[in-house]
Amino acid sequence: MSSRQDNEYPAGDLTVRGYTTMIYTDGEGQWLARVNGVKVTGPTRDALKAALGRQLRAATMQVAVPFLTKEGPLGDGRYRVRQGTATGIHSGSSNILVTWAGDGEKGQVTSYGSDKYMDGGADPAEWQRLLDEANRAARALYAYEQAHKANLREAVRKALADAVAAETGSEDDPS
């Protein structure tokens, strides 16, 4: 359903292509509604209805957009590359509808964090190799940092204490 902004005023429900949504007007006389997170507007109620029809037609169509994604981290901290085909947008959640390669399982993915998706032209084996290499490098980096970790504040305090002790031991006793 739609969510109202501060300068929008409820103007009832409108049913288009079997989809009922709240519609609004704004302070400038514009009619508007939201479908799948997309704001649809029109200068009149009839124009809004036509625009909603176009938007809903696109929302109910199916397409086939191949893509790759990485899943994980898995139990061992690695990621795995998975191939899929995006087929549309869910009318309620606005998630991307997908069919996974291999088993044909259907599901949804979110468009948030879309940097985790690659176009279908990317080589899944090369991406997997690079992910595995990055995982090995991250583990080596972590091990190196842990082996050479320093508590700098304590190291400075110890150095100061050692310097004071050395200076005190080298001076003549004034008594």
Short-list 133, 42, 63, 59, CA closest to 93: 59
pTM for this entry: 0.56
pLDDT at 175 over 60: no
For residue range 79-124, what is the model confidence (pLDDT) as tens digits? 899 999 999 887 667 788 899 999 999 999 987 766 689 998 999 9
Residue 1 has pLDDT above 60, yes or no: no
Cβ-based neighbour number of residue 89 at 10 Å: 21
117-119 and 96-100 strand pairing: unpaired
- Residue 2's pLDDT is what? 46
Domain spans of the chain? 8-60, 65-147
Phi, psi of 145 (to 5 degrees): -65, -40
Parallel/antiparallel/unpaired status of strands 106-109 and 96-100? antiparallel
Q: Which of 27, 59, 58, 33 is nearest to 47 (CA)?
A: 33
